[in-house]
Structures are given as structure tokens and as C-alpha cells.
Amino acid sequence: MINFFRNDCFQAFRSAWGDGVASLTPSHVRVSSRMKTARPEGGRGSAPRAAAWCVLPRKRQAGRAVSERIRALALGFGMAICAALPVSAQEFGPLLGTSYGKGEEVIAVFLHGDLSRGGPATYHQGVMRRLSDKAPQVTAIAMFRPGYGDGFFKQSPGSNHKRWDQYTAANNDLLAETLQSLRTAHPDSRLVVAGHSGGAAQLGAVIGRYPGVVDTAT
């Protein structure tokens, strides 16, 4: 009797919902003891059949929907974390930086400011990324000056002395050695270096001490 009632419920529900339940079988139907004996007036009607069928599938459909939402949220959260993480830093000699593009005509280097209010030295990365996008002949490098880094895992050697009095001979030598390494690695490229705020001050000190270390400074 139970199997007959379960099959009867299955056929009634499948007729009503069509292909939307094509993957379900009568085994998905759960019939409670009260449902097995319930009958509407006039005999066995469709109400108890539909009620008996809906017990499990709706729960399964709800569970599947929740699982899909959780999966979508997890994927979105993971993508957001990846987007927030900084671009992996590279070594260009003693100092680290992030590189954009693979042009060989010009090697362009940007030296950030002192960032006396704190925070990672990453604001110049967007500038260099846009430069490489607009000028494919350029390799654009956002350099981390001595003692600065991306705020996560990478930091250039040297000390920024709590972001004061940074233009020491030791720090300037680190920058000069890095620029010379770039020139050696790209002998046929023009080396163009720009500095912002404290980066410009340090660049001026290095150029004065090491004439010819760059082709163009700004």
C-alpha cells in the first residue's frame, strides 16, 4: 500500500511539474504515517499525494540552492582577496619592485615619496601599470626605495629611519647599484627614472654622486 501510494504521488507530481523533476524517482517521496491514511472528502485525491511528494524534494532543492549560493560567495570572496593582494615583487639588484610590460626600448623606473604618514609604498604601481598599457615599448618598474615594501611580504633592504632622514650614503648606494644592474641587464635600452617627492630628492643625490647612471631623470 505504501509503495502504491508513493508511486501514485510520484506520477501525480511529475505530471504537474513535467521535465523539472525528470531526474527524481519515486524513492524521493517520503510518506508520513498520517499521510498514508489521510483522504480528502470524496476519496483519495491529489492533495495528500502532492503533500507527500513535496516533503523531501523541496528540502533538497532548498539545500542545493543554499550550497550554490555558498559556493558563489566563496568564489567571489576568493577573487576579491586575490585582487587585493599586491603584485609579486621582483629583485632588480639590491632593491625590489614590481614590473609591468616587456618593452625593451625604454626601462622606466618610478621612485615613490617618503610616505611620512605611513602605509605601503604601492601608490605608484597603478601609474606604471597604465604606462605599460599605453606604451608597449616600455618596461615600467615601480621601485621600492630602501626600507620600503608592499606592506605584506616584500621589502627592499636598507632603512628608511622611520621615514625621516633617508638619503644616507648607504641607501643611496643601494639605489645606485640597482639602477646599474638594470643598465647591465638591458644594455640596449634607455634608462629613464622619475622620482616623486622624497624619491626625487634621493634620485638627485644619486645622480650627483654617480654621473651617467641614468639616461634621463625627471
Per-block mean pLDDT, blocks of 10 residues, the chain (218 long): 48 52 51 43 45 46 66 60 57 96 97 87 94 97 93 85 79 96 96 95 94 94
Are 118 and 71 members of one domain? no
Give the Cα separation of 189 and 195 in Å (integer). 19
Residue 147 and residue 200 in one domain: yes
pLDDT at site 70: 73
Judged by phi (left if over 0) then psi (alpha if -120 to 50, else beta), residue 61 lies in alpha
Distance between CA 217 and CA 205 in Å, rounded? 12
**Contact between residue 109 and residue 179 where contact means Cβ atoms under 8 Å apart:** yes
Angle at 168 between CA 149 and CA 158, to 5 degrees: 30
**At 101, which CATH number?**
3.40.50.1820
Buried b (16+ CB within 10 A) or exposed e, 133-164: eeeeebbbbbbbbbbbbbeeebbbebebeeee
Alpha carbons within 13 angstroms on the beta-carbon side of residue 204 total 7
- Expressed as residue numbers, the domain containing 21 is 2-84
Structural element, H or E, at residue 15: helix 2-17
Q: Which one, of 109, 172, 171, 119, lies nearest residue 150 by Cα?
A: 119
Q: How many separate domains does the chain show?
A: 2
Residue 176: partners with Cβ closer than 8 Å, 6 or more residues away: 206, 209, 210, 213
CA 170 – CA 176 distance, rounded (Å): 10
Same domain, 97 and 156: yes
Give the model's pLDDT for residue 45: 46
How does pLDDT run across 98-143, given as a tens digit for each residue? Answer: 999 999 999 999 999 988 788 888 999 999 999 999 999 999 999 9
Last residue of a domain, one of 38, 60, 84: 84
C-alpha cell of 135? 606604451
Residues 173 and 111 in one domain: yes
> What distance in Å separates the CA atoms of residue 64 and residue 23, rounded to the nearest whole number?
14
State the virtual CA torsion across 67, 73, 76, 81 in degrees, nearest 10.
-120
Nearest to 202 by CA among 168, 177, 179: 168
**Co-location of 136 and 169 in the same domain:** yes
- Residue where the block lists cell 499521510: 35
> SS3 of 111, please?
strand
Domain stops at, among 44, 62, 84: 84
